Chain A
């Protein structure tokens, strides 16, 4: 019997066995390599995403300004030294500030003639320069008739050119900036009059149709108010539900029904909550459209299952011995919960809440449905004012055709991701610091 076995392929030292063994080892190596490839492609996608956002967005934090000598022509401004303060301000607001810019530019480039060329010359300065000049005239009474150097914001086309987004070597008909404008910019550059500063306006002003003037303050405040409403509603209700389901609920069909509902709600797409908000909050309850109140209510309903599930896990993690000890000392069930279990599970609950809030911060679809998608320029002051949110602002800018909005969108994404990293980092730090090993 053993002789026959020696010829069979199961003999451990035969050539066939060794060959098969090598094949198996090779398969092992290939499979491990494939696994590593899979993992690396996932990480690769993340890296490409972040590199894209950073490379397009970091330039959005810089702005281009042109240092020009603006002659405060008394012929255009008029005689304002005699006027009362409020009349003076009124008068200053009504004059043609753009003419001051235009004339000063014409003084700088005296050989520019013809209406079209003069308009092109004027267009290298942003339309927002008007408010800068107006503010200067209001602040300083004595500058009428003098020539003052001012750093005026360049228009978006010039901004894009200075940042390298528009190339010189293309034919003039294929780019937005003309050869003449390039010539003027070269002259200004040679005199060191083109300044690249940090774009504080991005963080302090509201939305605008012009890319160089657009800022995210309105969106940030809107997002903040919305999240405030969300947390004010979702946190108490979520924690109360978790306490009830974990500690007080009897094991009957009604409790099962509630649990099934909560698990289902956790898996519903966010746009359905938007439809709910639209149908009930806006149409049945007639709440004001685009208000952070409605946005907060909708997002609260969406975040509620997350908070409930996280809180339940945190409450469950508290060992029964704590509860038994409290009851043994004569506490009632409610007292055990409020005085012992809840404080001990609070870190876990807060971690889950912060993660839920971070998810709510990035949600766009429900807010689109309830109307927070309008073009809002002012910064909202309360939860009933019309507002927009940061992710919605990103969505609106991503749709805009102007080239200058690409970097603004990426810059806004960087701000949003920073907030998210902060919130998630806070949650993880809290979890690590307060996590108790029972």
Chain B
């Protein structure tokens, strides 16, 4: 039996409770529905849902915690010699046990002890799942039974039912909060572990990023310096190039589409720009690596410039292309929302369209445009795939767009998709970088919101 079967059994119990609840309600008034407090269906739903929700909760606990529980049991059954291994070796050993169960390759020759442990693991998995299943089915049936017993003509089942529904709605809303809490707590937890190895000032103000920590005492080429400034400057350089490219084009497109274009042209161009927003960033990255970077390099050769094949310029330009729709649609909304009376007043004083735009519309829409700028910047800073595929990996502290730089997101991907043990400073630094990224993007969004709220004109 597996989780799907258990889920289906719970559904079956609920369906049975529904029909039994209805029947019981109807029987208790001999078919005269108007003597019941709620509709017969409400009694059925109440019986069904009050049993289903606890059962689903048990399944939820199994999905999240089940594997951990089985791991701990198996670990407890092995000898002290396994338990006293370092965290890293113990994790590898448990991984091997799990691989034996599934039939994958393992990292050392198979011993009888490991085979026994694997059999114990499988046994435990079945037993504990059976335990959870019994608890879920038992709890579900028990609560459904109690609810069925409560059914009587005066029983306010509709109110109880709606109370249950409200509880589940509130629980769903809490998930958004839990997500944020989860993000912040996991990032902070790992970052604190990281700060045990590397001091905060070295991380924030150090100028050298070379996260190769020594695996052996005599390993060559490892320095383990975790100064993040080159990453921040790299991110800033690529973001700046992207914004230089995207802000004029986006803003001018928005102005043209709202003020100068005919309705037909606007209805043609607006979806085209929205199309740019819908393209996955992997495609942009591939485009950057395949077309844009070689093009820039060969045109650099034409002018005698030495441009790296993974230049910041290539990544920046493609990232700018990605941000154009964001800038353009947000500016479009803001400019359109300026009331016609301001435009008419300006025309009435004899201004041309251009003068109206530059002197009246842009200043009144400025808070919205600035907030669009900040949102676009935050999107560019958090972008991963384009830079992974088009920007370099070596941390270069430079302001030259023709050289290759690396960004925060590239380093996060590189550190976590390589093979390193999980609590070495190298992989923990990825979480520290993630926390920095999270704080920066959150701050930018917060400032954007504040600017709109404080300076945006309210027209009546």
A46 nearest in chain B by CB position: B276
B36 at the interface (CB under 8 A from A): no
C-alpha spacing A24/B167, complex, angstroms = 65
Provide the A255-279 mask, 1 if CB < 8 A to any CB of B, else 0. Answer: 0011001111101111111011011
Which of B60-68, B112-120, B226-234, B397-405 lies at the interface with chain A?
Answer: B60-68
Which of B13-21, B122-130, B352-360 lies at the interface with chain A?
Answer: B352-360
Chain A residues with CB under 8 A of B259? 35
Chain A residues with CB under 8 A of B279? 49, 362, 417, 420
Q: How far in angstroms is the closest Cβ of chain A from B166?
A: 6
B-facing residues in A184-210 (Cβ within 8 Å): none
Chain A residues with CB under 8 A of B190? 279
Contacts A267-B441, A287-B67 known; list 15 others, CB within 8 Å.
Answer: A28-B352, A28-B354, A35-B252, A42-B253, A42-B324, A46-B276, A244-B166, A265-B176, A268-B382, A268-B438, A269-B384, A304-B175, A332-B158, A362-B278, A373-B417
Chain B residues with CB under 8 A of A334? 161-162, 165-166
A413 at the interface (CB under 8 A from B): yes
A245 at the interface (CB under 8 A from B): yes
9 contacts across the A-B interface (CB closer than 8 A): A24-B355, A37-B252, A38-B250, A39-B261, A244-B166, A270-B382, A334-B161, A368-B413, A424-B278
C-alpha spacing A32/B169, complex, angstroms = 52
C-alpha spacing A210/B188, complex, angstroms = 43
Is there contact, CB below 8 Å, between B272 and A43? yes
Which of A94-102, A159-167, A316-324, A391-399 lies at the interface with chain B?
Answer: A391-399
A-facing residues in B166-180 (Cβ within 8 Å): 166, 168-170, 172-177, 179-180
A29 nearest in chain B by CB position: B354
Tell me which of A270, A286, A406, A420 contacts B68 (CB under 8 A): A286
C-alpha spacing A71/B121, complex, angstroms = 52
C-alpha spacing A34/B354, complex, angstroms = 11
B431 at the interface (CB under 8 A from A): yes
A432 at the interface (CB under 8 A from B): no
Is there contact, CB below 8 Å, between A275 and B434? yes
Q: Indicate whether A52 sits within 8 Å of B280 (C-beta atoms), given known contacts A28-B354, A39-B253, A275-B430.
A: no
Is there contact, CB below 8 Å, between B287 and A49? yes
C-alpha spacing A249/B291, complex, angstroms = 51
User: Which A residues lie at the B interface, using CB under 8 A?
Assistant: 24-25, 27-28, 31-32, 34-39, 41-43, 45-46, 48-49, 52-53, 56, 236-238, 240-241, 243-245, 248-249, 257-258, 261-265, 267-273, 275-276, 278-280, 283-288, 301, 304-305, 308, 332-334, 358, 361-365, 368-369, 373, 391, 394-395, 398-399, 406, 409-410, 413, 416-417, 420, 424
B334 at the interface (CB under 8 A from A): no
Chain B residues with CB under 8 A of A275? 183, 186-187, 412, 416, 430-431, 434
Is there contact, CB below 8 Å, between B375 and A364? no
Tell me which of B176, B186, B273, B328 contacts A280 (CB under 8 A): B186
Is there contact, CB below 8 Å, between A285 and B68? yes
B68 nearest in chain A by CB position: A286
A-facing residues in B155-204 (Cβ within 8 Å): 158, 161-162, 165-166, 168-170, 172-177, 179-180, 182-183, 186-187, 189-190
Tell me which of B250, B282, B290 contacts A364 (CB under 8 A): B282
C-alpha spacing A238/B175, complex, angstroms = 10
B393 at the interface (CB under 8 A from A): no
C-alpha spacing A398/B183, complex, angstroms = 30
Q: Indicate whether A240 sits within 8 Å of B169 (C-beta atoms), given known contacts A258-B176, A285-B64, A304-B179.
A: yes
Q: Indicate whether A265 sits within 8 Å of B179 (C-beta atoms), given known contacts A28-B353, A41-B249, A286-B67.
A: yes
Which 10 pairs, one residue from A and one from B, show the smallest C-beta to C-beta distance?
A: A269-B382, A362-B280, A38-B252, A35-B256, A240-B172, A279-B186, A286-B67, A244-B169, A365-B384, A334-B162
B210 at the interface (CB under 8 A from A): no
C-alpha spacing A278/B190, complex, angstroms = 12
C-alpha spacing A31/B357, complex, angstroms = 10
Point out which of B169, B261, B416 has the most chain A C-beta atoms below 10 A from its C-beta. Answer: B169
C-alpha spacing A365/B259, complex, angstroms = 38
B255 at the interface (CB under 8 A from A): yes
Is there contact, CB below 8 Å, between B162 and A332? yes
Chain B residues with CB under 8 A of A56? 290
Is there contact, CB below 8 Å, between A267 and B253? no
Q: How far in angstroms is the closest Cβ of chain B from A285?
A: 5
Is there contact, CB below 8 Å, between B162 and A409? no
C-alpha spacing A244/B282, complex, angstroms = 36
Q: How far in angstroms is the closest Cβ of chain B from A268?
A: 6
Tell me which of B63, B71, B412 contacts A271 (CB under 8 A): B412
C-alpha spacing A34/B255, complex, angstroms = 10
Point out which of B286, B388, B389 has the most chain A C-beta atoms below 10 A from its C-beta. Answer: B286
Is there contact, CB below 8 Å, between B272 and A46? yes
Q: How far in angstroms is the closest Cβ of chain B from A1?
A: 22
C-alpha spacing A245/B175, complex, angstroms = 13
Chain A residues with CB under 8 A of B172? 236-238, 240-241, 244
Chain A residues with CB under 8 A of B442? 264, 267-268
Tell me which of B63, B180, B280 contacts A416 (CB under 8 A): B280
Tell me which of B174, B256, B353 contacts A39 (CB under 8 A): B256
Chain B residues with CB under 8 A of A279? 186-187, 189-190, 431
Interface of A is mostly: helix
Interface residues on B, range: 35 or more
C-alpha spacing A269/B378, complex, angstroms = 8
Tell me which of A24, A332, A416 contacts B352 (CB under 8 A): A24
Chain B residues with CB under 8 A of A409? 286
Q: How far in angstroms is the closest Cβ of chain B from A334?
A: 4
B275 at the interface (CB under 8 A from A): yes
Q: Indicate whether A269 sits within 8 Å of B409 (C-beta atoms), given known contacts A38-B253, A424-B278.
A: yes
Is there contact, CB below 8 Å, between B169 and A398? no
Q: How far in angstroms is the closest Cβ of chain B from A176?
A: 19
C-alpha spacing A395/B269, complex, angstroms = 30
Is there contact, CB below 8 Å, between A42 and B413? no
Tell me which of B65, B175, B251 contacts A285 (CB under 8 A): B65
A-facing residues in B360-377 (Cβ within 8 Å): 375
C-alpha spacing A278/B289, complex, angstroms = 28
B451 at the interface (CB under 8 A from A): no
B321 at the interface (CB under 8 A from A): yes
Chain B residues with CB under 8 A of A38? 248-253, 256
C-alpha spacing A286/B438, complex, angstroms = 25
B207 at the interface (CB under 8 A from A): no
C-alpha spacing A410/B283, complex, angstroms = 9
Tell me which of B161, B260, B437 contacts A35 (CB under 8 A): B260
Is there contact, CB below 8 Å, between B256 and A36? yes
B96 at the interface (CB under 8 A from A): no
Chain A residues with CB under 8 A of B261? 39
B422 at the interface (CB under 8 A from A): yes
C-alpha spacing A258/B174, complex, angstroms = 8
Q: How far in angstroms is the closest Cβ of chain A from B299?
A: 15
B281 at the interface (CB under 8 A from A): yes
C-alpha spacing A270/B357, complex, angstroms = 36
C-alpha spacing A287/B383, complex, angstroms = 27
C-alpha spacing A278/B287, complex, angstroms = 29
Provide the B49-61 mask, 1 if CB < 8 A to any CB of A, else 0. Answer: 0000000000000
C-alpha spacing A416/B284, complex, angstroms = 13
Is there contact, CB below 8 Å, between A394 and B183? no
Q: How far in angstroms is the closest Cβ of chain B from A416?
A: 7
C-alpha spacing A395/B255, complex, angstroms = 36
Tell me which of B173, B183, B252, B438 contacts A241 (CB under 8 A): B173
Point out which of B261, B273, B324, B442 has the most chain A C-beta atoms below 10 A from its C-beta. Answer: B324
Tell me which of A42, A269, A273, A332 contacts B328 (CB under 8 A): A42
C-alpha spacing A424/B269, complex, angstroms = 17
B97 at the interface (CB under 8 A from A): no
Chain B residues with CB under 8 A of A270? 382, 384
Is there contact, CB below 8 Å, between A285 and B280? no
B385 at the interface (CB under 8 A from A): yes
Is there contact, CB below 8 Å, between A261 and B180? yes
Chain B residues with CB under 8 A of A37? 252
C-alpha spacing A28/B259, complex, angstroms = 12
